[in-house]
Chain A
């Protein structure tokens, strides 16, 4: 049996269905945003944890030059170490059929029984390579699919200077390469970088590594201190050219994944907060109007003996009904979007399976938040209804009083037409409501701005990096440091216009008690292919002596120009030396230390040694050059700038369109929610006066203008406010994106501002028109007889 009050509740909801829908939609967006992001977050987290556990992802990692397998026993004795996996890892240049440019492959040794050891592989397709020397490999599924390779495909590789054809027999995934990206890159280029696994014996044979290893993975006990373990590992590996050991936090793939998760976490808080805030405001407005129009009914109910509490509950139920509708829609929408988001992430983060899981706890949290915001919204108005003394409530609402503001004495005001005056006085009469409307619309504008910020910034970052900093057409890395002859050989290759050698040394830089593992790059002072830039993106010269540090690296070390830092060479002679920081550079990608090529050679006492070279090439002869490079021994890898740029652009475009679309739809819902509801309430409050104007011969357009003037004004005020809030939020996001891997600049393009403003204007206009149609339905005859 439905009580009479509940029937009244349903009737009110039905009667106000337009506004109820608008408020419910805004709630739905907030809940959808929350559910989408949180469920994607938890789904990915769950898949990651399961993957890491089932496939025994290592806890610590180290690279070294070469150590005997026998060292394994000593490593296993380190307190806290529970399992040791000694591997061979070699980067090689690949020739992939159908690919113009040379690709880089990372070859990793596979134990005779692939179901043992750490970082075990998930075999998606095909079989494992036969144990013992053979040309069989398994390839990462990601790489294989990008290059249309399958079991049975063959690719060419230069193994230790010798050309060899490798046969793919299986496709696999590794917990170590969930995010499969070439060293030093932030965007995956799966066509040109791939991880391959080869039987240990075969790989050792090809690289002369029998009985030795050059890569270490460790499992540690849960209670073990990572710092103590890595320190012990470093001590043991030091004689064998060990680079510093590191934990999962610095493992590239895992790090990208955690960064991405924390980013989702950030968005999962403020986006729903904006929407639920606005929805609370809309529900408040709706309820306030409802209480005003139902004064008589409230009084009647009270005079019948309904308790204040019952009446309070009645109006609270109205708010809860809206939120319940919104939550249901939001959870459904969130589940849909969440599954979509997880699919998008599955394109970048490669798990054996990444199922979308909508957990009960996410749903419960969403519902709790939504209902909480509804109760906050309802509390004030419900109090109002409860406090209304029955006798007073039976009298009609007192006439609306208006006052001339002091601002009306200003000359300009006299020239404002009646519509403008009506709008301004309505705003002045309810400044709080107007402010909230402005905030609501501004939030929408800000949402669009923030949604596009990352793309504006990455665009600028890419442009800066690839036009100002990294200007070479190709980077060639040599397998082992070579001399001037190697550079000369590169210069003689077809299509090479310019060659600039570089020296790249893994180092640890220490200042005071802080130390940081990084790369020290020696580049020619007069070089033009790799340039350093200052904060304004202007090129700066590499000083003939001393050190230039990436600003982020200096911050991490707590060092400033003028400070002297200690440098430990981590490979080769493991020299220790000291250099002064001469200045800081502001390249947006990665961190490094820079020295003049000759100064670095001098410090390392190996004049003339080069790690590789930057090439400027003749585009017309690209193919000849690429073929030649593929077959040049001693080359560990080639990175082609154009290809890298294209990949970044593709990744960006795809997610940009999706993100902009979702954010714009969400923002439009916000605008429509605020403007439509405000206009409907204005129509309900002022319907009589507008109908009388229609009786007096005002045309629809004129009446519409009088009705919507206020919303037009508020929208116009809200747009700059929203642009301001949006850019402020982006400023807040800058530290979130200030990472070692890349630093997003604070930058918003005029296009983003214009887009946000226009999208808001458009949705505002649409909502206004939706209400304007109702002006046609004003009952002109009834108005003659109705009292305000």
Chain B
């Protein structure tokens, strides 16, 4: 199957995020960088998607555009029946606030707030959040609620960040190299948490990584290279994170 033929997919009713012919051109000094060249994709509710690509492939740019952090130079992005590409900054903020959960490579927790308070910071502004302590329980941190980030290990910090992202019941969870700064066993624990959250809460989860081993745990693997989708693969069965190795 030629993935580029998948361009204008008939949007299935369950598609949460749809990108049509998305392109992004940066100017770096005098050089034009084509970060994305006409990418089209549709992401379904409850799906676990891995965006696989080398550094500089454009996968982060795509994630930023899907997350409403960046606007494409061409093409269209739809969240359900909302067009994100023409949204104002304020509308994009609302989109992120209500529908998107982010997990960063470097966790980015507020060092002056405890684990529980970091999650509460988000639940306080969400319309229908999960109880902060419960979500922290789901990621296995029941006994670390009152620790400050500096008192937590990297993996624990990342799990707080995941809890923070999930607590508002987002439709979409976007994870940018969530294991990138973690060691092997810790990274696996974090993946387990992501997998379970996807399974139990049914949140569309998009993980971008350059680690091909992670791809096995996805429903669908989208490979990106030089700003284009070069391959889309559906896994018949999702591998369990504990069975992955890299």
Contact = CB atoms under 8 A, between A and B. Distances in A.
Please indicate whether A and B come from the same complex rather than being unrelated chains: yes
Interface of A: 399-404, 417-418, 421-422, 425-426, 429, 688-689, 691-699, 702, 780-781, 783-788
Contacts of B223: none
Contacts of A695: 67, 69, 96, 102, 104
18 contacts: A400-B150, A401-B111, A402-B111, A402-B150, A404-B146, A429-B112, A689-B109, A691-B108, A694-B93, A695-B102, A697-B94, A697-B98, A697-B100, A699-B90, A702-B125, A781-B60, A781-B69, A787-B106
A697 B165 CA distance: 11
B106 A418 contact: no
Q: Per DSSP, are chain B's interface residues mostly helix, strand or loop, or mixed?
A: mixed
Contacts of B96: 695-697
Interface in B50-68: 60, 64, 67
B176 interface: yes
Contact of B176 (A400, A699, A784): A784
B148 A403 contact: yes
B148 A401 contact: yes
A785 B70 contact: no
Interface in B128-172: 146, 148-151, 164-165
Given A403-B148, A421-B112, A698-B125, A788 B97 contact: no
B121 interface: yes
A417 B112 contact: no
Nearest to A429: B112
Contact of B120 (A418, A692, A780, A784): A418
Contacts of A783: 104, 108
B193 interface: no
B113 interface: yes
A84 to B, nearest CB: 81
B150 A780 contact: no
A397 to B, nearest CB: 12
B103 to A, nearest CB: 10
Interface centre among B69, B70, B90, B94 (most CB of A within 10 A): B69
A474 B123 CA distance: 76
B76 interface: no
Given A689-B109, A697-B100, 8 more contacts: A399-B111, A692-B102, A692-B104, A693-B110, A696-B102, A696-B164, A698-B125, A699-B90
Contacts of A688: 108
A786 B113 contact: no
Contacts of A425: 112-113
Given A418-B117, A699-B93, A702-B125, A785 B105 contact: yes
A763 to B, nearest CB: 26
Contact of A422 (B98, B113, B165): B113
B122 to A, nearest CB: 6
A725 to B, nearest CB: 30
B64 to A, nearest CB: 5
Contacts of A422: 110, 112-113
Contacts of B146: 404
B94 A689 contact: no
Nearest to B98: A697
B47 to A, nearest CB: 22
Contacts of B60: 781, 784-785
Interface residues of B, number: 40
Contact of A697 (B93, B148, B151): B93
A787 B105 CA distance: 9
A399 B149 CA distance: 9
Given A400-B111, A697-B94, A417 B124 contact: yes
B106 A421 contact: no
A691 B93 CA distance: 12
A24 B179 CA distance: 46
B108 A692 contact: yes
Nearest to B161: A692
Contact of A689 (B93, B105, B111): B111
Contact of B64 (A399, A401, A781, A787): A781
Contact of B70 (A691, A694, A702, A781): A781
Interface centre among A401, A691, A693, A695 (most CB of B within 10 A): A695
A768 to B, nearest CB: 19
A785 B55 CA distance: 12
Contacts of B101: 696
Contacts of A400: 111-112, 150
Contacts of B102: 692, 695-696, 784
Interface centre among A417, A425, A697, A788 (most CB of B within 10 A): A697
B148 A696 contact: no
Nearest to A399: B150
B54 to A, nearest CB: 15
Interface centre among B100, B101, B111 (most CB of A within 10 A): B111
Contacts of A699: 90, 93, 97
B33 to A, nearest CB: 14
Contacts of B109: 689
B150 A696 contact: no
Nearest to A398: B150
Interface centre among B60, B100, B112, B124 (most CB of A within 10 A): B112
Contacts of B95: 697
Given A421-B117, A698-B125, A788-B106, A402 B164 contact: no
Interface string B75-94: 00000000000000010011
Contacts of B97: 696-699
B70 A418 contact: no
Contacts of A696: 96-97, 101-102, 122, 164-165
Contacts of A399: 111, 149-150
B53 to A, nearest CB: 15
Nearest to B164: A696
A71 B14 CA distance: 121
A694 B68 CA distance: 11
B117 A784 contact: no
Nearest to B67: A695
Contacts of A702: 125
A784 B124 CA distance: 23
Nearest to B120: A418
Nearest to A400: B111
Contacts of A784: 60, 64, 69, 102, 104-105, 176
B170 to A, nearest CB: 9
Given A399-B150, A781-B69, A783-B108, A418 B121 contact: yes
Contacts of B181: 787
Contacts of A691: 108
A143 to B, nearest CB: 69
A395 B108 CA distance: 19
Given A417-B124, A702-B125, A402 B112 contact: yes
B69 A421 contact: no
Contact of B69 (A402, A429, A698, A780): A780
B113 A421 contact: yes
B89 to A, nearest CB: 9
A401 B113 CA distance: 10
Contacts of B64: 781, 784
A429 B113 CA distance: 12
A403 B125 CA distance: 25
B110 A689 contact: yes
Contacts of A404: 114, 146, 148
A785 B178 CA distance: 11
Nearest to B180: A785
Contacts of B94: 697
Interface centre among A399, A429, A696, A699 (most CB of B within 10 A): A696
A434 to B, nearest CB: 14
Nearest to A690: B110
A399 B105 CA distance: 16
Nearest to A691: B108
A118 to B, nearest CB: 75
Contacts of B69: 695, 780-781, 784
A781 B104 CA distance: 11
Contacts of B112: 400, 402, 421-422, 425-426, 429
